[in-house]
Amino acid sequence: MSLELGDVSASATGARGSGLIGLAVGVVLLIAAPFLFYPVFAMEVLCMALFACAFNLLIGGGGLLSFGHAAFFGAGAYIAAETAKSFGFPFELALLCGIASATALGLLFGLTAIRRQGLYFAMITLALAQAIYFLALRLPFTNSEDGIQAVPRGKLLGLVDLTNNFAMYYVTAAIFLAGYLLVARVWRSPFGQVLRAIKDNEPRMISLGYPVDRYKLMNFVLSAALAGVAGAVKAIAIGLATLSDVDFTTSAAVVLMVLLGGMGTLLGPVVGAVLIVAMDEYLAGIGIPVPVVIGVIFIVIILVFRRGIVGEAVYLWNRWRAGARA
């Protein structure tokens, strides 16, 4: 039985015309952001937002809750940082190495966990991610508590100097946008249709002759790869890969971002990531314990606000429109 967490249909079948206008507004915002905020902060937000989109792809598309997504984010970060710093790989190649390792790890996790569902799936992914955490603590190249610092940004295609914060920002923004549009496309692909149907009624999909485990595995690997992209870009843009990238706290944070923004909505994870990263920054400044606030938000969302911000907005909008029509 698949779990009905969130509901992707609201956005996936939403009007495509208004989507285009929204996209245009989004692109303008992306272009303007580094002039409004500190570019490094904006990059961090975008990387977390992309990570949240990756997680959302998994839960919104297949209904599988992973508690160990930081493993993929962290794998992307560590491998990209290591190849860029120690091997001197150029930006593109380091990025690819990071993504490839996250994808391979996703395949390993997926093959292990996909046969169990629901609560077990969550526990297994959490336990596997903890194993990766221990590896990051122990492997020689990860430098234990210090992590990999001062990762060089290099040049994009040997031309654009990424040490310039604005250049790095716009590369990050372009990658984020591509990832975001990829999720949108996946949900509106034949593959996405199959995933939605599996989430809706898995036994029926089996009886229709679909090998559902293969679809779920593919979606899981896809999500892991995208999380790897986010981690790899983050490591190079911020210049740092540390234990906190593979930590359980990061896995929990991404769950919260998606929950807060609205599971299964396209824009939700982005909204959630912006709010959580900003809150993190703000609260740390005034000495309020962040985990406590995060925990409280978790509980409030689950008890009274399960659609999340964007999910709620879509719901209200649809109801208002239905009311206007009647």
Chain positions 154 to 213 lying near other proteins, rule: CB under 8 A, are 182, 185-186, 188-194, 196-197, 200-201, 203-212
CB of 276 to other proteins, least distance (A): 13
- Near other proteins by CB under 8 A: residue from 292, 316, 318, 321: 292
Within positions 216 to 235, which residues make up the interface with other proteins, using CB under 8 A? Answer: 218, 222
Decide whether 94 or 297 has the Cβ nearer to other proteins. Answer: 297
Q: Which residues contact 52 (CB under 8 A, 6 or more apart)?
A: 254, 257, 258, 261, 269, 270, 272, 273
Decide whether 60 or 147 has the Cβ nearer to other proteins. Answer: 60
Taking contact as CB under 8 A, which single stretch among the options 20-28, 113-121, 144-152, 274-282 is the one that binds other proteins? 113-121
Phi, psi dihedrals of residue 151, rounded to the nearest 5°: -75, 130
CA distance 143 to 138: 8
> Would you say 105 and 75 are in contact if contact means Cβ atoms under 8 Å apart?
yes
What tokens were used for 101?
């390792």
Q: Which residues contact 177 (CB under 8 A, 6 or more apart)?
A: 26, 27, 30
Residue 294 binds other proteins (CB under 8 A): yes
Decide whether 284 or 316 has the Cβ nearer to other proteins. Answer: 284
Closest by Cα among 268, 66, 271 to 184:
268
Within positions 5 to 64, which residues make up the interface with other proteins, using CB under 8 A? Answer: 5, 7-9, 13
Decide whether 5 or 275 has the Cβ nearer to other proteins. Answer: 5
Within positions 120 to 149, which residues make up the interface with other proteins, using CB under 8 A? Answer: 120, 122-124, 126-128, 130-131, 134-135, 137-138
Residue 75 binds other proteins (CB under 8 A): no
CA distance 138 to 119: 29
What tokens were used for 3?
């779990």
CA distances from 217 to 5, 12, 16, 29, 92 (A): 18, 21, 29, 35, 27
Q: For tokens 């604005």, name the residue.
A: 166
Residue 3 binds other proteins (CB under 8 A): yes
Q: For tokens 């909505």, name the residue.
A: 265
Residue 118 binds other proteins (CB under 8 A): yes
Q: Which residues of 242-270 are buried (b: 16+ CB within 10 A; e: fewer)?
A: bbebbbeebbbbbbbbbbbbbbbbbbbbb
Within positions 241 to 260, which residues make up the interface with other proteins, using CB under 8 A? Answer: 248, 252, 255, 259
**Side chain identity at 220, as an amino acid letter?**
F
- Near other proteins by CB under 8 A: residue from 18, 21, 38, 115: 115
Decide whether 8 or 46 has the Cβ nearer to other proteins. Answer: 8
Decide whether 150 or 303 has the Cβ nearer to other proteins. Answer: 303
- Near other proteins by CB under 8 A: residue from 25, 29, 302, 316: 302
Taking only Cα atoms into account, the Rg of the chain, rounded to an integer number of angstroms, comes to 19
Taking contact as CB under 8 A, which single stretch among the options 99-107, 266-274, 294-302, 312-320 is the one that binds other proteins? 294-302
Residue 107 binds other proteins (CB under 8 A): no
Q: Interface mask (CB under 8 A) for other proteins, residues 86-105, using x and -?
A: --------------------
